[in-house]
Structure 1
Amino acid sequence: MLIENKKIAVVGGGPAGLTLARLLQLHDANVKVYERDNDRNVRVQGSTLDLHEGTGLEALKRAGLLGQFYSNHRPVASKMLLVDRSLNIKFEDHDFAEFTSETRPEIDRAPLRDILLDSLQPETVVWDSHFVEMSRQGDGWMLYFRNGKSAYADLVIAADGANSKIRPYISDIKPIYSGITLIEGNIYQAEKNAPGLFGFARGGKVMAFGNEQFIGYGTKGDGSIMFVACFKRPQNWLVQSGIDFGNKSQVLEFFKKEFKEWSNDWHEFFTNKDVHFTPRPQYYYPFDQSWETQENLTMIGDAAHRMPPFAGEGANVAMQDSFELAEVLTSGKFSDIMTAISHFERGMVERGASATKETLENTERMFSLTGLEQMVSFFTDVKRDS
């Protein structure tokens, strides 16, 4: 096996990194996952994930974790409402959700992470390991972390997300701004802190369109809500706006101005005492990426092919990266690691480009003047053809 007697470092403990570690350990690989969180008890934020056949679900199948997944997935999360700016329902799929919960079952990020963590050998994850830099040492790399510690690896795999600090060691290709910026908000104890919008969703998700803008949110099994308010702005808007996103009053005033034609019911997200905001300009990588393959370094997931979240493909493509990379490293079909990684990277770039194109097409629909009508038509067709 190509990775026999090799020390493998996976930097990043998200779904892709943990899935890869699990798949490699099934082949007795010596792998460590370096994760910046202090421990596994840190709150896992982000939207609920719908996993797809052939990608996310296939990864869990190969990892032997489908049973645990279905014991923890949330069928109610597939329920969806499409609404206008005033929360008038234009499409409801609470019956159709019975179908989508089977074909694209959903799970919160926290239980998915627990499933993957529990599948790993003890001490696989090295917590409090915020990557800072690395340098070549012999045929491998020495990794340095913010806590002052370091570690050697023969093979490093970047799974450290859209703002990867390892990607520059592989490629100098810069991401392209999509034209869309979003404000992400996370509300804990949402039934108490945002009762109106929490109850309106009935355990599922809500997507609202108007004025080339989009608000989406979903309830999670821990009683929290994650929402996004998305709008078109120039790339440098975030810096020039001067908004302190730690100041709730400033964020509310911005929302009232930017979304002035939206119902005041949406203000509930911005006026409760337990909300945390994060601005996120949305970028993607070019379709024709290429770089020189290295025998001791590669990347997966958002580090390799970041894209906006408007088609639900990011996590699924990332988890496919995990099983495709594990396959080339353990199958015995390649003569050396560089050949195996080169084969993997060519396929990864193609998959990433395809998913990015689909995402950008969906983004154009969602943020058009007829976004609501187009999305209602799209989901009506899907429901009819299912």
Structure 2
Amino acid sequence: MTASVKNRIREKEIAIIGGGPGGLTLARLLQMKGAQVKVYERDLSQASRVQGAIVDLHFDSGLKVIEEANLTDAFKTKYMVGADRYRLLDPAGNILLDDGNQVKKIGFGDPDFRPEIDRGSLRDLLIDALFPDTVVWDSQFKEMREIDGRWQLQFTNGKIATADLAIGADGYRSKVRPYLTSIEAQYSGASIIQGEIDHPETICPEIYRLVDNANLMVMGEGRTLAVQPRGDGGLTFYIASMLPENWKETSGLDFDNREQICTYLVKTHENWNPVFSSLFKTSAHFVFRPLSYYPLDQRWATKGNLTLLGDAAHLMPPNGEGVNLAMLDALNLSECLTSAGYSSLQEAVIAYEDSMIAKAAALCKETVNGIRDFASPTDESIQQMITMLSGQTME
């Protein structure tokens, strides 16, 4: 790296809005290159909430970035050994596939190895690698103003910060994105109902044993049920199906009424094995999530002092790539910002955004094209899932 490039990045105040895996990874990579970075996170503290279910990192994205951040050894102490297993059932409860991705013994260094880690553990790992006080907690973004080429950031708690470069890493409901583009998300045709189970080992032990600290899927009758462990020992489940865009408004259901949603799910799954109803009956609450995505051809006018990464930049339906892609965004952005090949931040950000958007569009297209196979599975798509999870070669 030339002296001018070093000075270009080190003389700038960089603000990352959002302390998820993408934002924290970017902070780590930039600090390794001498940058001044602050991460503004809305959570009150590092321990203020459970981060959700497990996430798997991939060889050419998440794991690659972990290696670039010199965190592989730390990752190996935190990942969940064996949690990359899958068990696929039909609605009657018959096992169609068990531990299919363990056909061959694989581990670190194998392109097919996708180790799972609790989202909270991943966040802790990344935070521990940052300089003290890098993350500014209780900082929910409110608005920002551009003054003489710099950003003045305001948060809902009344605090104000300034930055030469701001990066929106604040997820699919990004409040930073509108400062860069007015392009809105569009509906994929599929939605999920999400539930949360606390203490499943005691309140729904049969499901707890079926999950066995790994991934459980049930496919059939026009929907898919997926169940994953949470970092605190609980379970998160998702029911995916194809629904009209206005379904929530026309269904007559109140998702703040737990009993009403439970009754609805038990009724719609009355032909399924009763064990699955125990999930609905013991869920602490329910959330309805339409699955949307940004247009594949999206592009905005680049600003040299503002950009996006992760879901804030390229929202797409869940496909196992979200965290991996956000971490890869972080790596690519850090490389562009510190590359001697660009004479200005504007050029560096243009190069990053062109690459980032193209990469995400290819993955999003594949996901949207296959959303019906997942959310409304047929015998053929179920067999394709079995083939994929078992590691077989599809003809």
Q: Is the 8 A contact 2:28 2:69 kept in 1?
A: yes
Deviation at 1:97, TM superposition (A): 6.8
Equivalent position SS for 1:320: helix
User: What is the TM-score of this pair, normalised by structure 1?
Assistant: 0.94
Match of 2:310 in 1: 301
User: Could you tell which deviates more after superposition, 82-91 or 352-361?
Assistant: 352-361
Match of 1:90 in 2: 96
Q: Is the 8 A contact 2:229 2:235 kept in 1?
A: yes
Match of 2:331 in 1: 323
Determine which of 368, 374, 377 is the counterpart of 2:387.
Answer: 377
Q: Is the 8 A contact 1:75 1:98 kept in 2?
A: no
Deviation at 1:94, TM superposition (A): 5.8
Say whether residues 1:19 and 2:19 are aligned partners: no
Match of 1:200 in 2: 210
> Structure 2 vs 1, CA of residues 6 and 329 (structure 1 numbering), >3 Å: closer, same or farther?
same
Equivalent position SS for 1:104: coil
Say whether residues 1:342 and 2:350 are aligned partners: yes
Match of 2:64 in 1: 58
Give, in whole Å, the separation in 1 of the partners of 2:60 and 2:363.
Answer: 13
Give, in whole Å, the separation in 2 of the partners of 1:121 and 1:265.
Answer: 47
Determine which of 191, 197, 203 is the counterpart of 2:201.
Answer: 191
Give, in whole Å, the separation in 1 of the partners of 2:164 and 2:321.
Answer: 31
Tell me the alpha carbon deviations over residues 119-149 of structure 1, each in whole angstroms, 9 at most, x when there is no partner.
1111110101111111111111111111111
Q: Is the 8 A contact 2:17 2:170 kept in 1?
A: yes
Matches within 5 A, 1:353-364: 353-364=361-372
Say whether residues 1:212 and 2:222 are aligned partners: yes
Give, in whole Å, the separation in 1 of the partners of 2:138 and 2:355.
Answer: 33
Q: Is the 8 A contact 1:79 1:97 kept in 2?
A: no
Give, in whole Å, the separation in 2 of the partners of 1:114 and 1:369.
Answer: 40
User: Could you tell which deviates more after superposition, 292-301 or 84-93?
Assistant: 84-93
Say whether residues 1:182 and 2:188 are aligned partners: no
Give, in whole Å, the separation in 2 of the partners of 1:99 and 1:287.
Answer: 37
Q: Is the 8 A contact 1:82 1:90 kept in 2?
A: yes
Say whether residues 1:111 and 2:107 are aligned partners: no
Q: Is the 8 A contact 2:309 2:329 kept in 1?
A: yes
Give, in whole Å, the separation in 2 of the partners of 1:29 and 1:193.
Answer: 49
Aligned residues: 382
Say whether residues 1:275 and 2:311 are aligned partners: no
Match of 1:136 in 2: 146
Q: Is the 8 A contact 1:80 1:97 kept in 2?
A: no
Deviation at 1:270, TM superposition (A): 1.8
Give, in whole Å, the separation in 2 of the partners of 1:98 and 1:268.
Answer: 34
Q: Is the 8 A contact 1:179 1:235 kept in 2?
A: yes
Deviation at 1:95, TM superposition (A): 7.0
Say whether residues 1:39 and 2:45 are aligned partners: yes
Match of 2:160 in 1: 150
Give, in whole Å, the separation in 2 of the partners of 1:156 and 1:184.
Answer: 32
Q: Is the 8 A contact 2:219 2:377 kept in 1?
A: no
Say whether residues 1:122 and 2:135 are aligned partners: no
Deviation at 1:156, TM superposition (A): 0.5
> Structure 2 vs 1, CA of residues 203 and 100 (structure 1 numbering), >3 Å: closer, same or farther?
farther
Deviation at 1:101, TM superposition (A): 5.6
Deviation at 1:63, TM superposition (A): 0.8
Equivalent position SS for 1:177: strand
- State the one-letter code of the partner of 2:226: G
Equivalent position SS for 2:270: coil
Say whether residues 1:252 and 2:258 are aligned partners: no
Q: Is the 8 A contact 1:141 1:153 kept in 2?
A: yes
Deviation at 1:98, TM superposition (A): 6.3
- State the one-letter code of the partner of 1:147: N
Match of 1:288 in 2: 297
Equivalent position SS for 2:10: coil
Tell me the alpha carbon deviations over residues 15-65 of structure 1, each in whole angstroms, 9 at most, x when there is no partner.
000000000111111111000100000223333111111211111111111
User: What is the TM-score of this pair, normalised by structure 2?
Assistant: 0.92
Determine which of 158, 164, 171 is the counterpart of 1:161.
Answer: 171
> Structure 2 vs 1, CA of residues 173 and 160 (structure 1 numbering), >3 Å: closer, same or farther?
same
- State the one-letter code of the partner of 2:314: H
Q: Is the 8 A contact 1:317 1:355 kept in 2?
A: no
Give, in whole Å, the separation in 2 of the partners of 1:327 and 1:61.
Answer: 14
User: Could you tell which deviates more after superposition, 2-11 or 217-226?
Assistant: 217-226
Q: Aligned Cα RMSD in Å?
A: 1.8
In structure 2, the gaps of 5 or more residues are none
Give, in whole Å, the separation in 1 of the partners of 2:144 and 2:204.
Answer: 44
In structure 1, the gaps of 5 or more residues are none
> Structure 2 vs 1, CA of residues 170 and 221 (structure 1 numbering), >3 Å: closer, same or farther?
closer
Match of 2:373 in 1: 365
